[in-house]
Amino acid sequence: MTTVAVVIPTYNRPDRVRDCLAHLALQTRRPDRIVVVDSSDQPGTCAVVEENPGVLYVRNPLGRGTTPEARAIGVSLCREDVIAFLDDDANARADWLERILSRYADPTVDGVGGCALNGIPGEREGGVGEIGLILPDGRLTGNFAADPGRDVEVDHLLGANMSFRRSAIERAGGIRGGYPGTCLREESDIALRIRRLGGRLVYAPDAIVDHLPGEYAKGRRFDRRYSYYANRNTIVLLSRVYGMSDPIVRRYLRVATREIGQELRRSARGLTRSLRTPPRQTVRQVGGGVTRAGAVLAGTVAGFPAALVQLRRDGRRPAR
């Protein structure tokens, strides 16, 4: 029988971890191992894990913003055939792991990701034709709540609900860190590298978790900080997986440039309507567009030196 471990990275969300573990205890196929990797600066999570006999608790001393490093620590403690990952704010439905493992009956499958429902009306119908893709311009599609009615081969998976054969992780060189801040794109790194080696990744729409986005360690979702790290970490991801000289990096630069232009034009429209709108609304629209454009620009620029650092750490010379 295929053995499976579940790794849960967490930071200062003990109540979320409690719920996550409670749902794992109800699985029709129980995990052979559960590892909670705690990056917290508070003791609450350790106490929660102690309430769950058999669950392994381990500290990540690197702290906040090191989700991929926490994943790597978890993997290092596992010897099972398949390693599944859950976010601490993802509650697995009772047949989740059973459905994930059923796809590994096909020996050509190296990774399986499931559906993460966010409680948004219509999310099962949206984006069914663009699930987990990397586009030619470097953008990554999500749509990991969609239900196309069948399994779909994908390029990357959602970190809240993904799994890989341990042999595929090892063949790709392991899980790599270097995606700080909001940790955006970190799960795409291992998935895209497995794909580059010819591995198959499958999205299974019936392997469901209820994703209840938890409190951010800093800032809010989709704020300026989010935009900064989305662009910074995307440049790092594309450079590490494909090389800095690959056309996909240049195409992504054009994407970022268009986004900056759109935000600045939005600010300009706010100025032209300033005589017809209250001053506070004008300031909000103009200032918002300028600061969003600045976040995209700053993140894109910061991505290149960050990519150079990570390429050297990966043991690769920057592509010319």
pLDDT recorded at residue 290: 83
User: Which has the minimum average pLDDT: 88-92, 262-266, 310-314?
Assistant: 262-266
* Close Cβ partners of 318 (under 8 Å, ≥ 6 residues apart): 239, 244, 307, 308, 311, 312
* Cα distances (Å, whole numbers) of residue 23 to 2, 27, 55, 97, 139: 21, 7, 13, 11, 33
C-alpha to C-alpha distance for 297 and 293, rounded to whole angstroms: 6
136: burial class by Cβ within 10 Å (0-12, 13-18, 19+)?
exposed
The rounded distance, in Å, linking the Cα atoms of 200 and 192 is 10
pLDDT band at residue 215 under the 50/70/90 scheme:
low
**Per-residue pLDDT, 297:** 95
* pLDDT tens column, 162-193: 999 999 999 999 999 999 998 899 999 999 99
Whole-model pTM? 0.90
Determine the residue type at 199: G
Vertex 229 angle, CA 224 and 234, to 5°: 135
Q: What is the C-alpha separation between 245 and 243, in angstroms, rounded?
A: 6
Nearby residues of 252 by Cβ (< 8 Å), 6 or more positions away: 137, 138, 139, 234, 235, 238
- 319 DSSP 8-state letter: P
Structure tokens at 186: 């970190």
Q: Map tokens 């620590």 to a residue.
A: 73
Beta-carbon neighbour count of residue 149 at 10 Å?
10
pLDDT reported for residue 283: 58
8-state DSSP, 105: G
Q: What is the DSSP string of 185-254?
A: THHHHHHHHHHHTT-EEEEEEEEEEEE-----SSS-TTSHHHHHHHHHHHHHHHHHHH-TTSHHHHHHHH
Q: Is the pLDDT of residue 258 over 70?
A: yes
